[in-house]
């Protein structure tokens, strides 16, 4: 997989300074989301190898509170695409994986052994969601190690009920993130991140570097013309302005004040709790 670094690949400056030549760190550091795919099929055994990597992730108390649904059928991928903000990559990629927090299996194990399930709390929802996310990240790393591209899709949560029905997810199972896997159709662009001092805190949380970090990153992203042609409108009319005051801060603030620009169908994501409560999850 060819990754074309942008001029603003600031997250690598440190690695370069340290003259790291570790292949794993290099792989992780050159991650870039792949948003278009060649139709080429994957080599035999790819899915099984990805799953070995995924199942090797840590899992809380060895509960293994997750399942993975592999979608390769073109009609089903097209149906999922329609539920995920019409992102074409979901139809294009040969393999679309859906990572699901899963307490259905744990309910079964309790019933099998004759005990009532006593863990219906927010904590269990969070534990299963973390389990599933750790698996997803390991699978993404493995895919990239195999020369494939990947893209994590939170848009699988745009319409949770429709995905539950399409994938026949039983109570206690929902789709947390999707992952496109396939051969990149074009070179990938590595994206810069907030400065390390904005994210990393020593001994206690500190906001000392927050404004300087947000400012620096905002200017970096604005200078890279990152948001040209995709500015978030707050007036109802498309925002076609091109002044450089619009950077990461303005883009992010507009999205958070209008969260439907994150979820293609925010009204449904706003219903996430109601849908999940009706499907076997508790938030007490």
40 part of the interface to its own copies, by CB under 8 A:
no
- DSSP-derived letter for residue 233 is P
229 part of the interface to its own copies, by CB under 8 A:
no
The residue among 39 and 43 lying less far from its own copies, judged by its C-beta, is: 43
Other CB atoms within a 10 A radius of the CB of residue 110 amount to: 15
Which positions from 78 to 117 touch its own copies by CB under 8 A, shown as an x/- string? ----------------------x---xxx-xxx-xxxxxx
State the Cα–Cα distance between residues 94 and 41, nearest whole angstrom. 6
Q: What is the DSSP string of 66-128?
A: EEEEEE--HHHHHHHHHHTTT-HHHHHSSEEEEEEEB-HHHHHHHHHHT------SHHHHHHH
Contacts to its own copies from residues 120-149, by CB under 8 A: 121-124, 126-127, 129-130, 133-134, 136-138, 140-142, 145-146
**C-alpha dihedral over 167, 173, 177, 179, to 10 degrees?**
-50
The residue among 7 and 204 lying less far from its own copies, judged by its C-beta, is: 204
Write down the least CB distance from residue 230 to its own copies, Å: 12
Write down the least CB distance from residue 154 to its own copies, Å: 5
Do 187 and 32 contact (CB within 8 A), yes or no?
no
30 part of the interface to its own copies, by CB under 8 A:
yes
- 85-93, 181-189, 197-205, 236-244 -> range binding its own copies (CB under 8 A): 197-205
202 part of the interface to its own copies, by CB under 8 A:
yes
Among 1, 68, 84, 180, binds its own copies (CB under 8 A): 68
- 84-92, 180-188, 192-200, 235-243 -> range binding its own copies (CB under 8 A): 192-200
Write down the least CB distance from residue 108 to its own copies, Å: 6
Do 102 and 173 contact (CB within 8 A), yes or no?
yes
Among 39, 40, 70, 228, binds its own copies (CB under 8 A): 70
Among 82, 183, 189, 193, binds its own copies (CB under 8 A): 193
State the Cα–Cα distance between residues 141 and 56, nearest whole angstrom. 12
Q: Which residues contact 116 (CB under 8 A, 6 or more apart)?
A: 110
119 part of the interface to its own copies, by CB under 8 A:
yes
Among 40, 73, 78, 244, binds its own copies (CB under 8 A): 73
Strands 95-101 and 66-71: antiparallel
State the Cα–Cα distance between residues 106 and 119, nearest whole angstrom. 10
Write down the least CB distance from residue 181 to its own copies, Å: 13
Tokens of 19: 């003259």
The residue among 199 and 278 lying less far from its own copies, judged by its C-beta, is: 199
Intra-chain end-to-end CA distance of the chain, in Å: 45
- DSSP-derived letter for residue 40 is P
Among 1, 42, 53, 95, binds its own copies (CB under 8 A): 53
Write down the least CB distance from residue 240 to its own copies, Å: 19
Strands 177-182 and 188-190: unpaired
Contacts to its own copies from residues 237-276, by CB under 8 A: 248-250, 252-259, 262-263, 269-270, 272-273, 276
């Amino acid at each position: 997989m060819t990754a074309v670094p942008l001029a603003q690949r600031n997250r690598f400056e440190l690695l370069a300074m340290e003259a790291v030549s570790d292949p794993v760190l290099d792989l992780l550091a050159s991650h870039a989301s792949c948003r278009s795919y060649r139709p080429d099929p994957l080599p035999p055994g790819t899915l099984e190898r990805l799953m070995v990597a995924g199942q090797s992730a840590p899992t809380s108390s060895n509960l293994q509170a997750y399942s993975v649904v592999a979608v390769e059928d073109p009609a089903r991928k097209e149906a999922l695409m329609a539920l995920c903000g019409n992102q074409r990559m979901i139809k294009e990629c040969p393999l679309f994986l859906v990572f699901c927090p899963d307490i259905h299996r744990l309910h079964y194990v309790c019933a099998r052994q004759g005990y009532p399930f006593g863990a219906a709390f927010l904590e269990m929802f969070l534990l299963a969601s973390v389990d599933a996310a750790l698996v997803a990240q390991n699978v993404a790393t493995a895919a990239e190690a195999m020369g494939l591209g990947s893209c994590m899709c939170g848009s699988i949560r745009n319409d949770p009920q429709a995905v539950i029905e399409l994938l026949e997810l039983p109570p206690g199972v929902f789709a947390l993130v999707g992952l496109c896997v396939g051969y990149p159709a074009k070179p990938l662009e590595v994206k810069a991140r907030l400065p390390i001092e904005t994210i990393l805190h020593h001994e206690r949380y500190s906001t000392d570097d927050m404004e300087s970090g947000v400012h620096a990153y905002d200017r970096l992203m604005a200078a890279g013309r990152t948001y040209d042609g995709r500015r978030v409108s707050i007036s109802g009319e498309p925002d076609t302005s091109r002044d450089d005051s619009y950077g990461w801060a303005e883009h992010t603030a507009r999205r958070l004040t209008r969260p439907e620009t994150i979820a293609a169908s925010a009204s449904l994501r706003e219903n996430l709790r109601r849908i999940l409560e009706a499907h076997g999850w508790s938030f007490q």
